[in-house]
Chain A
Amino acid sequence: GAVVSQHPSWVICKSGTSVKIECRSLDFQATTMFWYRQFPKQSLMLMATSNEGSKATYEQGVEKDKFLINHASLTLSTLTVTSAHPEDSSFYICSAGTSGTDTQYFGPGTRLTVL
């Protein structure tokens, strides 16, 4: 089946630093990738949608300058949390899909803790 990986699985950083999270589709080409954040015991909230080679589309209320998304290839998308603050601490999950299909495949998530 379709496999999506994320790296790192967890990261701890100091306030004010930037953190990059990678999302890779391992056995298929992902024309579209999605980034979600999930607070403890809450649902997933879509942050942005990225299509390969295009600028990401951000959901309302998500700061595009703070959460930089790059989808440079059909198998890799990155989310960079810039100038991280403790309130950015969350579980970040990516998903990937292929144009023309209806299913997204989810990565295992990245736990970000900002001290």
Chain B
Amino acid sequence: AQSVTQLGSHVSVSEGALVLLRCNYSSSVPPYLFWYVQYPNQGLQLLLKYTSAATLVKGINGFEAEFKKSETSFHLTKPSAHMSDAAEYFCAVSRSGNTGKLIFGQGTTLQVKP
């Protein structure tokens, strides 16, 4: 079985500050891990993914995440927040390979204050 826990349903940062969104996973098999962003009334856009290659993954819009097996974590970071980063962020896990079904975390709302 697989599951994802996102710590903090709401994160607020100032523009220019570090963004840290936490994600811990549980998986009985080697996982694939994903971060998606959702803007209001829109679908999901892939930010980045870990698929058993490099543990530090760089994505779009300056985001990156590090896979830490010992901590079962895949936290999302960005050095400097921008107002346009305000959105809902979802961490997801799937079984490796073959477009496996995604299990999503509860989501974290990122608020960016001017």
B41 pairs with A109, CB closer than 8 A: yes
Q: How many residues of A contact B (CB 8 A)?
A: 28
- The verdict on A61 contacting chain B, using a C-beta distance below 8 Å, is no
Main SS of chain B's interface residues?
loop
- The verdict on B32 contacting chain A, using a C-beta distance below 8 Å, is yes
B42 nearest CB neighbor, chain A only:
A108
Contact of B99 among A44, A91, A102 (CB under 8 A): A102
Complex interface residues of chain A between 90 and 115 (CB less than 8 A to chain B): 91, 93, 95, 97-109, 111
Find chain A residues with CB under 8 A from B46 CB. 103, 105-106
- The verdict on A78 contacting chain B, using a C-beta distance below 8 Å, is no
Known contacts: A43-B90, A102-B32, A106-B36. The answer to whether A34 contacts B44 by CB under 8 A is no
Most buried by B among A32, A104, A105, A111: A104
B107 pairs with A102, CB closer than 8 A: no
- The verdict on B102 contacting chain A, using a C-beta distance below 8 Å, is yes
Q: A-contacting residues of B (Cβ < 8 Å)?
A: 32, 34, 36, 41-46, 49, 51, 90, 94, 96-107
Can you name 12 A-B residue pairings with CB atoms under 8 Å? A6-B43, A42-B107, A100-B97, A100-B99, A102-B49, A103-B99, A104-B99, A105-B46, A106-B45, A106-B46, A108-B42, A109-B41
